[in-house]
A = this chain, B = another copy of it.
Amino acid sequence: MSSPRPRIPEATVARLAVYLRVLAALADAGRSNVSSGELASAAGVNPAGLRKDLTHLGPCGVRGVGYEVVTLRDRIARVLGVERSRPCVLVGIGNLGTALADYAGFGSRGFRFVGLFDAAPGRVGQEIGGQPVRPMEDLDEVVAATAATLGVIATPADVAQSVCDRLTTAGVRSILNFAPVALSAPAGVDVRQVDLSVELQVLAFLGQQRGAAAAEVTA
Protein backbone atom coordinates (compact mmCIF):
# COMPACT_ATOMS: atom_id res chain seq x y z
CA MET A 1 0.00 0.00 0.00
CA SER A 2 1.49 3.32 -1.05
CA SER A 3 -1.56 5.39 -0.13
CA PRO A 4 -0.86 8.83 1.28
CA ARG A 5 -2.73 7.96 4.51
CA PRO A 6 -3.98 11.50 5.09
CA ARG A 7 -5.15 10.89 8.67
CA ILE A 8 -8.60 12.40 8.96
CA PRO A 9 -9.37 14.17 12.26
CA GLU A 10 -12.00 12.54 14.45
CA ALA A 11 -14.28 15.57 14.44
CA THR A 12 -14.24 15.52 10.67
CA VAL A 13 -15.06 11.82 10.53
CA ALA A 14 -18.14 12.39 12.68
CA ARG A 15 -19.33 15.14 10.37
CA LEU A 16 -18.58 13.14 7.23
CA ALA A 17 -20.99 10.53 8.54
CA VAL A 18 -23.64 13.22 8.81
CA TYR A 19 -22.95 14.59 5.32
CA LEU A 20 -23.25 11.07 4.00
CA ARG A 21 -26.71 10.73 5.48
CA VAL A 22 -27.83 14.04 4.02
CA LEU A 23 -26.36 13.26 0.62
CA ALA A 24 -28.06 9.88 0.54
CA ALA A 25 -31.38 11.60 1.19
CA LEU A 26 -30.69 14.20 -1.52
CA ALA A 27 -29.76 11.48 -4.00
CA ASP A 28 -32.95 9.59 -3.23
CA ALA A 29 -34.86 12.79 -3.83
CA GLY A 30 -33.29 13.02 -7.26
CA ARG A 31 -31.09 16.05 -6.64
CA SER A 32 -27.94 16.14 -8.71
CA ASN A 33 -26.06 19.15 -7.35
CA VAL A 34 -25.70 20.84 -4.00
CA SER A 35 -23.71 23.78 -2.67
CA SER A 36 -21.66 23.79 0.49
CA GLY A 37 -24.09 26.30 1.96
CA GLU A 38 -27.12 24.11 1.47
CA LEU A 39 -25.39 20.94 2.56
CA ALA A 40 -23.97 22.67 5.62
CA SER A 41 -27.35 23.98 6.61
CA ALA A 42 -28.93 20.54 6.27
CA ALA A 43 -26.15 19.06 8.35
CA GLY A 44 -26.25 21.82 10.93
CA VAL A 45 -22.68 23.04 10.47
CA ASN A 46 -20.71 26.02 9.16
CA PRO A 47 -20.22 26.07 5.35
CA ALA A 48 -16.51 26.89 5.53
CA GLY A 49 -15.99 24.05 7.96
CA LEU A 50 -17.78 21.70 5.65
CA ARG A 51 -15.53 22.65 2.75
CA LYS A 52 -12.50 22.15 4.94
CA ASP A 53 -13.78 18.72 5.94
CA LEU A 54 -14.15 17.73 2.30
CA THR A 55 -10.58 18.83 1.67
CA HIS A 56 -9.47 15.66 3.42
CA LEU A 57 -10.93 13.66 0.54
CA GLY A 58 -9.04 15.73 -1.99
CA PRO A 59 -10.75 18.35 -4.19
CA CYS A 60 -14.19 17.10 -5.06
CA GLY A 61 -16.36 20.03 -6.02
CA VAL A 62 -16.64 22.38 -8.96
CA ARG A 63 -15.92 26.05 -8.29
CA GLY A 64 -18.81 28.30 -8.99
CA VAL A 65 -21.18 25.34 -9.11
CA GLY A 66 -21.04 23.08 -6.07
CA TYR A 67 -20.84 19.35 -5.52
CA GLU A 68 -22.30 16.50 -7.50
CA VAL A 69 -24.51 14.66 -5.05
CA VAL A 70 -23.97 11.06 -6.09
CA THR A 71 -20.23 11.41 -6.66
CA LEU A 72 -19.67 13.02 -3.30
CA ARG A 73 -21.89 10.48 -1.54
CA ASP A 74 -19.94 7.58 -3.00
CA ARG A 75 -16.63 9.18 -2.22
CA ILE A 76 -17.48 9.70 1.44
CA ALA A 77 -18.94 6.20 1.63
CA ARG A 78 -15.72 4.75 0.33
CA VAL A 79 -13.56 6.72 2.74
CA LEU A 80 -15.70 5.77 5.72
CA GLY A 81 -15.67 2.17 4.59
CA VAL A 82 -19.45 1.91 4.39
CA GLU A 83 -19.27 -0.13 1.20
CA ARG A 84 -18.43 -3.38 2.87
CA SER A 85 -20.90 -4.04 5.65
CA ARG A 86 -19.17 -4.74 8.94
CA PRO A 87 -20.19 -7.54 11.25
CA CYS A 88 -21.08 -6.33 14.70
CA VAL A 89 -22.19 -8.00 17.94
CA LEU A 90 -24.54 -6.50 20.51
CA VAL A 91 -24.63 -7.48 24.16
CA GLY A 92 -27.53 -6.55 26.44
CA ILE A 93 -30.94 -6.81 24.86
CA GLY A 94 -32.97 -4.58 27.16
CA ASN A 95 -34.95 -1.67 25.81
CA LEU A 96 -31.87 0.15 24.57
CA GLY A 97 -30.35 -2.96 23.05
CA THR A 98 -33.61 -3.74 21.33
CA ALA A 99 -33.77 -0.22 19.97
CA LEU A 100 -30.28 -0.58 18.56
CA ALA A 101 -30.92 -4.04 17.13
CA ASP A 102 -34.10 -2.84 15.49
CA TYR A 103 -32.73 0.41 14.16
CA ALA A 104 -32.80 0.14 10.40
CA GLY A 105 -30.36 3.02 10.13
CA PHE A 106 -27.40 0.79 10.92
CA GLY A 107 -27.98 -1.42 7.92
CA SER A 108 -27.78 1.43 5.48
CA ARG A 109 -24.72 2.80 7.25
CA GLY A 110 -22.54 -0.19 6.72
CA PHE A 111 -23.23 -2.32 9.77
CA ARG A 112 -25.01 -5.58 10.34
CA PHE A 113 -25.61 -7.24 13.66
CA VAL A 114 -24.43 -10.82 13.42
CA GLY A 115 -25.11 -11.67 17.03
CA LEU A 116 -27.44 -10.47 19.79
CA PHE A 117 -26.55 -11.63 23.29
CA ASP A 118 -28.11 -11.48 26.70
CA ALA A 119 -27.40 -13.13 30.02
CA ALA A 120 -31.05 -13.40 31.06
CA PRO A 121 -32.49 -16.83 30.17
CA GLY A 122 -35.86 -15.18 29.71
CA ARG A 123 -34.62 -13.12 26.81
CA VAL A 124 -32.65 -15.83 25.07
CA GLY A 125 -34.55 -17.19 22.12
CA GLN A 126 -36.61 -14.07 21.50
CA GLU A 127 -36.45 -12.79 17.95
CA ILE A 128 -35.54 -9.19 17.26
CA GLY A 129 -35.30 -7.85 13.76
CA GLY A 130 -35.41 -11.40 12.47
CA GLN A 131 -32.59 -12.54 14.68
CA PRO A 132 -32.59 -14.71 17.79
CA VAL A 133 -31.15 -13.56 21.10
CA ARG A 134 -28.37 -15.94 22.12
CA PRO A 135 -26.85 -16.87 25.44
CA MET A 136 -23.50 -15.37 26.39
CA GLU A 137 -21.87 -18.78 26.04
CA ASP A 138 -22.17 -18.50 22.26
CA LEU A 139 -20.20 -15.27 22.11
CA ASP A 140 -16.73 -16.62 21.28
CA GLU A 141 -18.09 -18.95 18.67
CA VAL A 142 -20.10 -16.25 16.89
CA VAL A 143 -17.29 -13.70 16.95
CA ALA A 144 -14.90 -16.28 15.56
CA ALA A 145 -17.32 -17.47 12.89
CA THR A 146 -18.28 -13.99 11.70
CA ALA A 147 -14.93 -12.26 12.25
CA ALA A 148 -16.79 -9.45 14.03
CA THR A 149 -14.42 -6.74 15.21
CA LEU A 150 -17.10 -4.35 16.49
CA GLY A 151 -19.05 -4.78 19.68
CA VAL A 152 -21.78 -2.75 21.36
CA ILE A 153 -22.46 -2.93 25.08
CA ALA A 154 -25.97 -2.03 26.22
CA THR A 155 -26.01 -3.82 29.54
CA PRO A 156 -26.43 -2.48 33.08
CA ALA A 157 -23.32 -0.75 34.41
CA ASP A 158 -22.34 -3.44 36.89
CA VAL A 159 -21.67 -6.11 34.29
CA ALA A 160 -20.27 -3.89 31.55
CA GLN A 161 -16.62 -4.41 32.44
CA SER A 162 -16.95 -8.17 32.46
CA VAL A 163 -18.77 -8.05 29.13
CA CYS A 164 -15.98 -5.85 27.81
CA ASP A 165 -13.41 -8.41 28.93
CA ARG A 166 -15.29 -11.22 27.23
CA LEU A 167 -15.60 -9.23 24.02
CA THR A 168 -11.92 -8.41 23.86
CA THR A 169 -10.98 -12.00 24.64
CA ALA A 170 -13.24 -13.17 21.84
CA GLY A 171 -11.41 -10.87 19.43
CA VAL A 172 -13.48 -7.70 19.23
CA ARG A 173 -11.25 -4.68 18.64
CA SER A 174 -13.65 -1.72 18.85
CA ILE A 175 -16.34 -1.29 21.47
CA LEU A 176 -19.19 1.19 21.77
CA ASN A 177 -20.28 1.37 25.40
CA PHE A 178 -23.66 2.70 26.52
CA ALA A 179 -23.28 1.62 30.13
CA PRO A 180 -22.45 4.49 32.49
CA VAL A 181 -19.00 3.29 33.53
CA ALA A 182 -15.52 3.90 32.22
CA LEU A 183 -14.23 0.66 30.79
CA SER A 184 -10.63 -0.45 30.70
CA ALA A 185 -9.49 -2.51 27.79
CA PRO A 186 -6.13 -3.83 26.61
CA ALA A 187 -4.00 -1.70 24.29
CA GLY A 188 -5.11 -2.07 20.71
CA VAL A 189 -8.79 -2.05 21.65
CA ASP A 190 -10.76 1.17 21.16
CA VAL A 191 -13.55 1.97 23.56
CA ARG A 192 -15.99 4.75 22.82
CA GLN A 193 -18.33 5.92 25.52
CA VAL A 194 -21.85 7.25 25.05
CA ASP A 195 -23.61 8.38 28.20
CA LEU A 196 -27.18 9.43 27.57
CA SER A 197 -27.77 11.05 30.91
CA VAL A 198 -24.57 13.06 30.68
CA GLU A 199 -25.93 14.52 27.44
CA LEU A 200 -29.10 15.55 29.21
CA GLN A 201 -27.17 16.99 32.11
CA VAL A 202 -24.98 19.10 29.85
CA LEU A 203 -28.03 20.35 28.02
CA ALA A 204 -29.75 21.28 31.26
CA PHE A 205 -26.68 23.06 32.53
CA LEU A 206 -26.23 25.09 29.38
CA GLY A 207 -29.89 26.06 29.49
CA GLN A 208 -29.60 27.06 33.12
CA GLN A 209 -26.47 29.07 32.42
CA ARG A 210 -28.15 30.80 29.50
CA GLY A 211 -31.16 31.58 31.67
CA ALA A 212 -28.95 32.98 34.42
CA ALA A 213 -27.05 35.16 31.98
CA ALA A 214 -30.30 36.56 30.61
CA ALA A 215 -31.57 37.28 34.11
CA GLU A 216 -28.35 39.13 34.86
CA VAL A 217 -28.90 41.49 31.96
CA THR A 218 -32.42 42.22 33.14
CA ALA A 219 -31.28 42.83 36.71
Chain A residues with CB under 8 Å of chain B are 1, 5, 7-8, 10, 13-14, 17-18, 21, 42-44, 80-82, 86, 88, 94-96, 98-100, 102-103, 105-106, 109-111, 149-150, 152, 173-176, 180, 182-183, 188, 190, 192-213, 215-216, 219
Contacts and interface: CB of A to CB of B under 8 A. Distances in A.
Contact of A18 (B96, B198, B219): B198
A163 to B, nearest CB: 16
A173 B109 contact: no
Nearest to A207: B174
B208 A81 contact: yes
A106 B207 contact: no
Contacts of A81: 204-205, 208
A196 B198 contact: no
A199 B10 CA distance: 11
A87 to B, nearest CB: 11
A18 B183 CA distance: 13
A148 to B, nearest CB: 11
Contacts of A213: 5
Contacts of A176: 199-200, 203
Contacts of A43: 182
Contacts of A197: 17, 103, 105-106, 109, 111
B100 A196 contact: yes
A143 to B, nearest CB: 15
Most chain B beta carbons < 10 A, residue from A13, A42, A152? A13
B44 A182 contact: yes
Given A42-B182, A208-B81, A174 B203 contact: yes
Nearest to A205: B13
A45 to B, nearest CB: 8
Contacts of A206: 10, 13, 174, 190
B10 A201 contact: no
Contacts of A98: 95, 99
Given A102-B95, A182-B44, A86 B204 contact: yes
Contacts of A111: 197, 200, 204
